[in-house]
Amino acid sequence: MDRRGFVTGAAALAAAAVGGLARGQSQRAPVARRSLLTCTAQFDPARPEIARLVAQACKSIGWEVQANPMDYNQGIQKVIMEHDFEMYLVYFPGTSIRIDPDFFIRGVHDSSEDKRGGFNWMGYHSPQVDALATAQARLMKVGERHKPVVDAQSAIFADQPGTVLVYSQMTMAHRSDKLSGLVPQLGEGIGGFWSDINMRATGDGYSRSGANADVKHLNPIAVVDSTEFAELSILYDRLLRLDPSGKPVPWAASAMKFVDDKTIDLTIRSDMHWHDGKPVTADDVKFSFDYHKQWKAPFFLTALNNVASVELPDAHTVRIKLDNPSAPFVSNVLATMFIVPRHIWEGVAASGDPLRFANEKPVGSGPFKLDYWRRGSELKMSAFKAHFNAPKCAGIIRIVYGSQDALATAIANGECDRTRYVLTPALVDRLKTVKNVVAKGYPSHGLYHLSYNNRIKPFDDPAFRQALNFIMPRQMISQLVLLGYADPGASIISPTNDAWHNSAIKVPPENVKMARDLLSKAGYSWDAQGRLLSRA
Amino acid sequence: MTLYLARRTMSSLITLLGVAVILFVLFRMMPGDPTAQVISPALDQAAQARLKHAFGLDLPLWQQFFIYLKNMLTLQWGQSFTTGQSVAALLGHWLLNTMLLMSAGLVLAVVIGVVLGILMAARRGGVLDHVATVAGLVFQAAPPFVIAIVLLIAFSYKLELLPSSGMVAAGTDDAGTWAMLTSADFLKHLILPTITIGAVYVATPMLVMRDSMLEVLGSDFVEFARAKGLRPSRVLFGHAARNALLAVVTVSSLILGFAIGGQIVIETVFSWPGMGKAMVDAALQHDYPVAQAAFFLMAVVVIVMNLLTDLSYSLLDPRIRFGTT
């Protein structure tokens, strides 16, 4: 080889090496495969199916997601306690304390709730949302509070720390030949308080309401689950009640007045009695607050830590002073916490820990009183005729069925009049064909939510999360998995909660091209096999 | 006999100790934090610590083990994490319900199985022999919930003869356990679940009795009894059956073990508030006190029933003496 040939060859080699290096530097890694945690079908038949549909949809943008159902309690531990997850499909039931927007705005999205056991397991941090969340919680007037709630929904929707998939209905059934006068209630369907006191039952006047699990206890101090709340809410009274649309209305307190933003005066009715005949007094109400706080009732702990004092300016008035203004206090404490008799619960505390007291013979002042409780079988409650709003039926017999199928069959046969809670959509569809059975979906503010762990890639990128919003198979989930008993979702507050819902937020179209365009603009690309590649 | 009883009691206690150790280890290996069920993370640290201390969950594992062992063996089973009720009271209630159901069903299975087994052996190769063998195997192979649902459809939904669920009709006043158990309503509710259990377990005693009878019927003493001119029924039931029963007794104690553990399906279908569903719920909810005590109690029942079975041998066969060589 001559000198010229050698130089030419060396130059070509060098050029090839530089070109190879440049190509190597521009090659990006595929977006990491992620695991979508959810519960097993035994706990909720819908969620594993929804997870599989979401995983399938993610393939349309070249990204691999694997659905991973696991034991419900194990999932709670990993996600809520340890934050050890990537994606989590969760169902937020429409319970009464979630009608107030504070839960979905501040509880789920405020950065202070990013803690072990907190509801901001996504680890979402937004100064804008934090400011709006704090503001809405402190504004006691509904008119003033509305704007920050609406603005917070817009900010959350734009950021997509998690994606709202669908709003579900409460699928329930009852026999029209046995019961009349049922009053559907937001988040509780026909199994709630207003149906309990307004319904009439044929025959012996008792309604037979079916459930799939027995209550664990009847302790109003230790209560945390909706199963126990449902029965305690008719055995005990509250200062206020949430009406069927979710607005607080007077109950044991005949009037409520805001002295200032941190002071609430409640006038207690003088015509109430405990089931043992003793009168209910303002002192019992003060005792109830002090007792819940002293024994750290788990459900009300955080809210009651904001109570500075409870005073009795006169025999019929209770004055509550808060450390800070708290808008959710009205719905989530005054309309949720139970009034308990001092003459019973002082004795409970004297003999042990009230949180571990089963309270199998409860003495409340509610519209129903307990007749007996056969553990695992039934709970019989009769109307308390001396109540100021006595029920129209003779009573309720709460029957435990071993499975949803057994409950549905009992409704079909007439052995049971009403479902206390939700039946699966498939069973409700089956009951639609049975004579004298009304089986349908009732409005609920519950929703299925896809939570992303905002602390890890690629969910730390808002553009990526926003793109995902356009590929979610909402229609398929609503129609195929939930059999039409759900609607595609967008805002974190459901349209059924029309007092607080931001109607300007629309359900995004399912549009893969829009998702890809968003990703491209954000710097993502795809390889020759169609795999989504990370940003440079 | 006394020596035999002492030896059996000692070995039973060792078995129970092994069961207790295994239960302790297994439940603590389960994923998930049991305290999450009962100690709200919203509680402040002091309150969480107080509750953990109350439940004994703040102690080192080895200390928890010895406390657990002592409590288990002295029947101090504490309080349920989820209901706050005494575990002993809860289990007593559920165990009674399960024992009633199981006893009725197994007695039915064994009685019918034994009688059929005798008749099948007496008419070996006949129509009854073939039909009963096939039917028994079909029932044994079929999932219990299928049998239960078929019976429900037939007797409860179509013919409306029997109730579909529960122990007594809903709304009957709570007159006490004894009054309930001796009521016609309770017996009516017991029929379908009892028939289900009977159908599921009839095959084993039936076929074992048949085979045992065939062996005994070929024995010399049976020939002698026939030669003496005894009636065939007396030969069959008075002489042969008694000797053939020993094998059924052995197998019955095995069936008992399976039956105790397998009630969950039947209890679920018939909404019978028994141990099966309670044990599953307790395990899933990490309600350690209830779950551990329930499984331990099941082990005690199986061990005691096995001991009683062994002791019954000497009643059936006077040649059997315990502790003799």
- The mean per-residue pLDDT over the stretch A327-336 comes to 96
Contact B40 A214 (CB under 8 A): no
Indicate whether B59 pLDDT > 90: no
Contact B36 A118 (CB under 8 A): no
Contact B273 A353 (CB under 8 A): no
Which of B196, B182, B188 shows the shortest CA–CA distance to B108? B196
Q: What is the DSSP letter of A354?
A: G
Q: How far is B166 from chain A (nearest CA, A)?
A: 7
Contact B84 A296 (CB under 8 A): no
Label residue A385 by pLDDT band (50, 70, 90): very high
Angle made by CA atoms A222, A224, A226, in degrees to the nearest 5: 130
Q: How far is A227 from chain B (nearest CA, A)?
A: 12
Q: Give the E-state strand segments of A339-425 in sequence order.
A: 368-374, 378-383, 395-400, 418-419
Q: Please give the structure tokens belonging to residue B98.
A: 């399960």
In chain B the first and final C-alpha atoms are separated, in Å, by 12
DSSP A419-445: ESSPPPHHHHHHHTTSTTEEEEEE---
Contact B164 A353 (CB under 8 A): no
CA–CA dist A113, A451 (Å, integer): 15
Q: Return the residue in B83, B86, B181, B269 with the most chain A beta carbons within 10 A, the one to mutate for interface testing.
A: B83
Indicate whether A536 pLDDT > 80: no
Q: Please give the structure tokens belonging to residue B172.
A: 């009957």
pTM for the full predicted model? 0.83
* Helix or strand (DSSP H, E) at B26: helix B2-29
> Could you give phi then psi for residue A253, rounded to 5 degrees?
-95, 115
Indicate whether B38 pLDDT > 70: no
> Could you give phi then psi for residue B294, rounded to 5 degrees?
-65, -50
% of chain A with per-residue pLDDT over 90: 83
- For the stretch A243-254, pLDDT in tens is 999 999 999 999
Range in A340-344, A487-491, B55-59 with the lowest mean pLDDT: B55-59
Per-residue burial over B123-160, b if 16 or more Cβ lie within 10 Å, else e, is eeeeeebeebbeebeebeeeebeebbbebbeebbeeee
Indicate whether B34 pLDDT > 90: no
% of chain A with per-residue pLDDT over 70: 95
Angle made by CA atoms A268, A270, A276, in degrees to the nearest 5: 105
pLDDT at B262 (0 to 100): 60
- For the stretch B172-199, pLDDT in tens is 767 777 888 888 889 999 999 999 999 9
Q: How far is CA B296 from CA A53, A62, B13, B94, B255, in A?
A: 43, 52, 12, 14, 18
Cα Dmax for chain B: 87
Contact A402 B157 (CB under 8 A): no
Q: For B174, which residue in chain A has the nearest alpha carbon?
A: A372
Q: Return the residue in A44, A112, A355, A417 with the most chain B beta carbons within 10 A, the one to mutate for interface testing.
A: A355
CA–CA dist B98, A263 (Å, integer): 55
- For the stretch A10-67, pLDDT in tens is 666 665 555 554 444 446 899 999 999 999 988 899 999 999 999 999 999 999 999 9
Q: Which residues contact A314 (CB under 8 A, 6 or more apart)?
A: A282
Contact A358 B272 (CB under 8 A): no
Identify the sign of the CA torsion B229, B230, B235, B239: negative
The total number of residues shown for chain A amounts to 536
Cis status, amide bond into A458, omega within 30 of 0: yes
Indicate whether A334 pLDDT > 50: yes
pLDDT at B325 (0 to 100): 44
Q: Please give the structure tokens belonging to residue A403.
A: 């499975």
pLDDT at A76 (0 to 100): 86
- For the stretch B142-183, pLDDT in tens is 998 899 989 988 998 888 888 888 888 887 767 777 888 888
Q: How far is A398 from chain B (nearest CA, A)?
A: 9
Q: For A75, which residue in chain B has the nearest alpha carbon?
A: B32
H helices of B59-158, where? 61-73, 87-122, 127-141, 144-151
Indicate whether B1 pLDDT > 90: no
CA–CA dist B143, B123 (Å, integer): 30
Residues of chain B in contact with residue A402, where contact means CB-CB under 8 angstroms, are 165, 267-272, 277
% of chain B with per-residue pLDDT over 70: 87
Which of A527, A396, A500 shows the shortest CA–CA distance to A150? A500
Q: Return the residue in A401, A407, A418 with the most chain B beta carbons within 10 A, the one to mutate for interface testing.
A: A401
Return the number of other C-beta atoms located less than 10 Å from residue A428's C-beta.
Answer: 24
Q: For A209, which residue in chain B has the nearest alpha carbon?
A: B170
Q: For B156, which residue in chain A has the nearest alpha carbon?
A: A413
Contact B83 A358 (CB under 8 A): yes
Determine the angle formed by the axes of helices B184-201 and B127-141, rounding to 10 degrees: 100
CA–CA dist A310, B77 (Å, integer): 40
Contact B165 A401 (CB under 8 A): yes
Which of B33, B283, B82, B281 shows the shortest CA–CA distance to A74? B33
- For the stretch B288-300, pLDDT in tens is 888 888 888 888 8
Highest mean pLDDT among A2-6, A263-267, B149-153: A263-267
Range in A47-61, A359-373, B200-214, B289-303 with the lowest mean pLDDT: B289-303
Angle made by CA atoms B115, B120, B121, in degrees to the nearest 5: 100
